[in-house]
Structure 1
């Protein structure tokens, strides 16, 4: 209950402070006209329940002659690249926190199709609400292997506490300001999780 109250109060405060910036981003993305302002996608939440993740859109809807979406590298817009580098594309997730579908701190929410691929230990990440930031985000974010991400996620589940959340939020500031580990090494796309036979 304490974590939920903390999440709610901090999210309300951040939305109040950041609402002019978010409104400006909505107008800018609408004016650029490269697709819907918001990107929505089904992700897996606590206890494996699906919910709708909300972000500012960073890629266009450009397709090839057959109607297939182009690669992420070709669809990433100029403003989208800036939003990702600054992590401003994540701001709408504060509304997911208000709805009780996410927390400020926790394992990042992933795609539902990954559910049958987790080991028993990796699946423990769903014992808590997914977060906007977490240990994996301060330890290397998208530069980490899937196995290491899940190792940090399950460590958090076992050791979670209010003080740990505060520490993670504080330590998130440095990589956020320095724009570290936004993309995997040598790519703009995260390699999909394919499963593994070993426990994380």
Structure 2
């Protein structure tokens, strides 16, 4: 699904991009601190150091800002994964897990906001998010399937789907449980342990 178009009164694309980025960065801080519903557009404009009236030249609502934040999350996640060169072996599976978990570590705030506030968006925005989730899920399945094929392992589609979901959730867990995990494990240790688990799930 293509990105949704948010109307703007400003014709300069560069300026629109810069101002929206200011709004997204300010909103991220506030959404994490106060939550989406308790944050007002006036709060966002003040934190972004923009006049209250001016922000409506770039967005139409607070929901637009939340959508832009989520859109940026997927752009960054996609950008990270596009740098991975899959060679259809176990090393490549580790490379993917390492890149994915490190991306989640950088984007942990966005993950928390998506889980908590996604349902606050209009249906068309939610449809976009769900399409991106499905796209990423299929990518993870593809990585796992290639690895199994190289290992000459025969597994069901259901097994690969479940493993893909588990892998995605284990990445999210680092964002949600880092307050607990970071007292016991470094990010590298967490990645190594999770990678061992998923690599051992391959039946030779």
> Which interval holds the TM-score relative to the shorter structure?
under 0.3
Structure with higher helix content: 2
Structure with higher strand content: 1
Indicate the structure (1 or 2) with the bigger Cα radius of gyration: 2
TM-score (norm 1): 0.27
With a CA cutoff of 8 Å and minimum separation of 6, indicate the structure with the bigger relative contact order: 2
TM-score (norm 2): 0.27
